[in-house]
């Protein structure tokens, strides 16, 4: 696997041609990982969280392959990789703190909640709706398509 | 520095359209005078592109964070909503984008190895293939969207689905589905425009091993679009 940056032909002396087959192998690995992701989604790994973690781990492996080889970060100038990785770090801070905050709230009722106020904190909007159905019950027959 | 100095002298002399006899052999037509070398010009453009990609990651990042919060809060509604997505179409689109990423990196490879036009055909072919797979992605997207439109599986207040498996707050899932895939779809369309531009300039023979910056930068953009879809596909189509 090689990159184009060292094939830049400014001097005219560097004429060695790098192969392209490495890219094909990366594509095959990416397609194989897609099959694995779809397959893993059919299996129950115990909890919804476990399945999400497994799917996201495979997605991260795929994203790393794309970034390192297709986006040439493996052999590129470090500054470009630094920009990319630092962006991901800030995104991780954003995501991590928001999820910790959301999970640790005592009252997760949204500001638009209109149900009884003396009820304890509700885990989700779905429970609100179950307690006080806003919509009429679903029709017995499926709608015409 | 001396080259930049020469360039400014040339400008003063009123020969801005051409260049001195002495360095004609080293002055590429796409070399901008404020860069010392072609390599410096390439590296500067590339850093700029990576900074733009950083803003793109943060743009989509906001949606991913919103998805994470709302999915944990409305798990039931998200699971019910995801049953209305066809994972086969999602997997097909994933393959389209992965293959288009491969043809794009092949186009970059061809452009960066193009000496005296010996890889021009490979370059144009790969750009056309990339455009074709991107078009295939949008066609599949069109069928998916029209199916949702028909069923009333739409974001926010436009949600009108009343099927037997309707779950309260299912609209939240479709709000995220349409905003995330919609924003991504606009990026695919933008990429298709950019690739068309590359095809026109490749046919004109503008790109060679000495100058292929636009191919490289649009390639980076295209891979980012692919990279975002790599996360969107399992999140939207495969959650359980």
Q: Cβ A70–B105 below 8 Å, yes or no?
A: yes
Query: Is A42 part of a structural domain of the chain?
Result: yes
Q: Cβ B163–A62 below 8 Å, yes or no?
A: no
Chain A 3-22, residues with CB within 8 Å of chain B CB atoms: 4, 7-10, 15, 17-18, 20
Q: Cβ A48–B74 below 8 Å, yes or no?
A: no
> What's the mean pLDDT in B159-179?
89
CB contacts < 8 A, A to B, total 186
Q: Which residue of B has its CA nearest to A84?
A: B54
A95: closest CA among B135, B26, B235, B120?
Answer: B235
**Into how many domains does chain A fold?**
1
CA distance A60 to chain B (A): 8
Largest CA distance in chain B: 80
Best of A15, A45, A59 to disrupt the B interface by mutation (most B CBs within 10 Å)? Answer: A59
Question: By mean pLDDT, which of A15-24, A60-69, A116-125, B128-137 is the weakest?
Answer: A116-125
State whether residue A102 sits within 8 Å of chain B by CB: yes
Q: Cβ B69–A30 below 8 Å, yes or no?
A: no
Band of residue A107 on the pLDDT scale cut at 50, 70, 90? low
User: Under DSSP, is residue B42 helix (H, G, I), strand (E, B) or coil?
Assistant: helix
Give me the residue from B75, B104, B163 closest to A142, CB to CB.
B163
Q: Cβ A99–B47 below 8 Å, yes or no?
A: no
Query: Is A39 part of a structural domain of the chain?
Result: yes
CA distance B182 to chain A (A): 20
Range of the domain at A34: 5-76
Q: Cβ A4–B65 below 8 Å, yes or no?
A: no
> Alpha-carbon distance A67 to B22, whole Å?
42
- Domain B37-237 in CATH 2.40.50.100: no
Q: Cβ B230–A143 below 8 Å, yes or no?
A: no
Q: What would the pLDDT profile of A61-101 be if each residue is shown by its tens digit?
A: 999 999 999 999 998 999 999 999 999 999 999 999 998 88
ipTM (interface pTM): 0.84
Query: Is A97 part of a structural domain of the chain?
Result: no
Query: Is A26 part of a structural domain of the chain?
Result: yes
CA distance A129 to chain B (A): 6
State whether residue A111 sits within 8 Å of chain B by CB: no
Neighbour-count burial for B191-210, b at 16+ CB within 10 Å, e otherwise: bbebbeebbeebeeebbbbb
Give me the residue from A66, A77, A90 closest to B227, CB to CB.
A66
Where do runs of H (alpha helix) occur along chain A?
Answer: 21-42, 48-65, 78-103, 125-131
Q: Cβ A91–B57 below 8 Å, yes or no?
A: yes
Query: Is A72 part of a structural domain of the chain?
Result: yes
Using alpha carbons only, what angle is made at residue A87 by residues B226 and B38, rounded to the nearest 5 degrees? Answer: 75
Where do runs of H (alpha helix) occur along chain B?
Answer: 2-13, 38-73, 75-82, 87-112, 120-151, 170-203, 213-237
Band of residue B75 on the pLDDT scale cut at 50, 70, 90? confident
Query: Is A132 part of a structural domain of the chain?
Result: no
Query: Is A142 part of a structural domain of the chain?
Result: no
Query: Is A100 part of a structural domain of the chain?
Result: no
Q: What would the pLDDT profile of B177-208 be if each residue is shown by its tens digit?
A: 999 999 999 999 999 999 999 999 999 999 99
Domain ranges of chain B: 1-36, 37-237
Band of residue A111 on the pLDDT scale cut at 50, 70, 90? low
């Amino acid at each position: 696997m090689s990159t184009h940056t060292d094939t830049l032909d400014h001097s005219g002396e560097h004429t060695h041609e790098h192969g392209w087959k490495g890219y094909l192998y990366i594509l095959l690995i990416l397609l194989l990982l897609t099959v694995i992701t779809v397959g893993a989604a059919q299996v129950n790994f115990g909890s919804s969280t476990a399945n999400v973690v497994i799917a996201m781990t495979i997605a991260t492996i795929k994203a790393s392959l794309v970034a390192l080889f297709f986006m040439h970060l493996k052999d590129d100038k470090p500054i470009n990789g630094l920009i990319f990785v630092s962006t991901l770090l800030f995104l991780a801070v954003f995501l991590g703190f928001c999820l910790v905050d959301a999970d640790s709230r005592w009252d997760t009722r949204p500001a638009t909640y209109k149900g009884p106020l003396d009820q304890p904190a509700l885990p989700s909007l779905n429970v609100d709706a179950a307690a006080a159905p806003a919509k009429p019950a679903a029709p017995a027959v499926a709608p015409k398509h | 520095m001396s080259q930049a100095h020469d360039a400014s002298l040339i400008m003063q002399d009123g020969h801005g359209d051409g260049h001195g006899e002495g360095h004609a052999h080293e002055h590429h037509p796409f070399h901008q005078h404020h860069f010392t070398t072609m390599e410096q010009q390439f590296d500067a453009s590339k850093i700029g592109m990576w900074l733009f990609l950083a803003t793109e990651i943060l743009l989509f990042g906001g949606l991913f964070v919103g998805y994470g919060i709302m999915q944990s809060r409305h798990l039931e509604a998200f699971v019910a909503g995801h049953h209305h997505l066809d994972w086969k179409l999602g997997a097909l689109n994933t393959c389209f984008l992965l293959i288009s990423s491969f043809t794009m990196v092949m186009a970059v490879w061809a452009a960066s190895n193009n000496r005296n036009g010996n890889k021009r055909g490979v370059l144009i072919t790969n750009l056309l293939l990339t455009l074709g797979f991107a078009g295939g992605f949008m066609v599949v997207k069109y069928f998916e969207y029209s199916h949702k439109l028909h069923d009333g599986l739409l974001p926010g207040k436009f949600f009108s689905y009343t099927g037997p498996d309707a779950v309260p707050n299912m609209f939240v899932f479709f709000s995220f589905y349409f905003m995330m895939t919609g924003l991504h779809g606009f990026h695919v369309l933008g990429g298709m425009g950019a690739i068309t531009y590359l095809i026109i300039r490749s046919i004109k023979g503008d790109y060679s091993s000495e100058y292929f910056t636009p191919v490289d930068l649009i390639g980076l953009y295209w891979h980012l679009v692919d990279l975002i879809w790599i996360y969107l596909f399992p999140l939207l189509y495969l959650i359980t």
